[in-house]
Amino acid sequence: MRLWLLIPLALCLPTLIRSEDYSDVTIVVRGSETIASTSDEFICATIDWWPPEKCNYDQCPWGQASILNLDLTNPLLAKAIQAFSPLRIRLGGSLQDQVLYGTPNLGSPCTPFSKVSSGLFGFSQGCITMERWDAINNLFVNTGAVITFGLNALQGRQQMGKGVWGGAWNSSNALELMEYTVSMNYPIDSWEFGNELSGNGIGASVGAEQYGKDIIELKNIINQLYGNSRKPLVVAPGGFYDQKWYARLLDISGPNVLDAMTHHIYNLGAGNDPQVANRILNPQYLGQTSDTFRDLQMTIQRHGPWSAPWVGEAGGAYNSGSRTVSNTFLNSFWYLDQLGQSAKYDTKVYCRQTLIGGNYGLLDTQTFVPNPDYYSALLWHRLMGNGVISLDTSGSSYLRAYAHCGKQKGGVALLMLNLNKNMGFMVSVRNDLNINAREMAGIRRESSFVHGLKRTVSWVGSKASDGLEKREEYHLTPQGGNPYARTVLLNGGPLQLTENGDIPSLPPVLVSVNSPIYVAPLSITFVVFPDFEAEGCER
């Protein structure tokens, strides 16, 4: 760790950083209004159905992490969920549309998945018993989790051709599960309909017109079952974005039926692709995903403004993730960057694949110990509020920055990702209230460290006139400087579970607002400005 992180005096910085080690950057935060908003449970994680026999690339990384076999009594699991207060959890995945529910009228034995070469994704149908459903819901009630459950949307349909399924949805088994859930007062927040059946589908597909009719049926079931009590949201289709298919789904289902449109993103390639790490550190490559977020936002605005965009599943690298990247510090650059990008386009929920399971779990599949991305998600959840703020950045594209209203202490929270392996950035943060058009036009020409240091005095607005205000800084770096480390450092100290297995506290370093921020090479920095004058956050 660099010594400067422990020294809040900006005047000491020049003696600690050689001139060739950093580049000056100015960030202008436009706090006069918010450009988008997220939900309180924006951070979401998934639990999948994959059994231990799920294998990719000569590895089988799922172990006992399925909805059917996960150790629900492990205290580390409960503590990891509780730390978010609350964490949204989405139960679903590829085998979702082969799941039966062990209700009294099922009419067949309730058995788990087994490998069958002729089955969808190489597995037979599987079944969840009501005893297991009870145990899962008890865990979530006790930990305060917010639950989205994915229903089987292929039940009753027939395969019409290669990968194409037709016919109406048979809702009887799902209805019985939902009736039981209501009778037990299990607080399901949302029912999601189907998994990756949109467009051409993954393994199977269903036409948008039939899908829309079936969603209307699901909405009617929910209205009848829940009566005058709070009704769970209807969420669909949980697939890869296809503009024409998604637009048609909204047109067919009609107003106020589909509350949220979920889509899946795996933009880093296959789990065994040797380019995964390079893509994570390529700002141009990362930025391509914005096209999907923007297009979905526009489709919803034009065809179903009553709905909201969600990312229902995103794991970076598909097929269980990358065994060398997905559980390391390096992966947090992709993850946090996509949280920031998606939020700018009004995404309300972002579900990470997975909470546990595969190579991309926030928790280690075997030990339940948090991987680096867990702490990245927790810091975002605690610091970045719902309101999204635009900003202007001078300098290198390798410094990616996002601003939100502060979550707990007001003001503004800023996330900065330095994708450069060799260059640090000395960042001066300005408020657009205190910068005129002429200054904005010349912002990219500001390069002097001393000049930038002098000009930060009035960045926060009228609230910081006495120079005594502090900001909070959270610097994340990899242990030993190794980007593939499984341990992340916060302000130089390792983040590890306590002796009692509790999630560690995440204390910041307090620094004068009048000093610039140094973002080290290949590091992540959250900064909270409690006194930042942002009118958009005060409305």
Per residue in 129-158, pLDDT (tens digit) is: 999 999 999 999 999 999 999 999 999 999
**Residue 2 pLDDT:** 38
**Residue 204 pLDDT:** 97
* CATH topology assigned to domain 22-34+394-439+467-537: Immunoglobulin-like (2.60.40)
For range 185-202, the mean pLDDT: 98
**Whether residue 348 has pLDDT greater than 70:** yes
Question: Which token pair is 461?
Answer: 């607005």
How far from chain centre, in Å, is Cα 18?
Answer: 36
The hierarchical CATH code for the domain 38-385 is 3.20.20.80
**Whether residue 409 has pLDDT greater than 90:** no
Task: Clarify whether 176 is annotated catalytic.
Answer: no
Question: Which token pair is 463?
Answer: 């609230």
- Using pLDDT thresholds of 50, 70 and 90, give the confidence band for residue 452: very low
Contact 494, 487 (CB under 8 A): yes
CA-based end-to-end distance of the chain? 40
- Using pLDDT thresholds of 50, 70 and 90, give the confidence band for residue 538: confident
**Residue 439 pLDDT:** 52
For range 293-306, the mean pLDDT: 98
Among candidate residues 20, 33, 217, 313, the one labeled active-site is 313
Domains of the chain, residue spans: 22-34+394-439+467-537, 38-385
Question: 356-373, pLDDT tens digit by residue?
Answer: 999 999 999 999 999 999
**Whether residue 335 has pLDDT greater than 80:** yes
**Residue 330 pLDDT:** 98
Strand ranges inside 441-513, DSSP E: 470-478, 488-490, 493-494, 509-512
For range 91-115, the mean pLDDT: 96
- Using pLDDT thresholds of 50, 70 and 90, give the confidence band for residue 435: low
Question: Which token pair is 518?
Answer: 């140094």
Burial 178-189 (b: 16+ CB within 10 A, else e): bebbbeeebebb
Report which residue type is found at 404. Answer: H
For range 425-438, the mean pLDDT: 80
Among candidate residues 196, 472, 473, 533, the one labeled active-site is 196
Task: Clarify whether 472 is annotated catalytic.
Answer: no
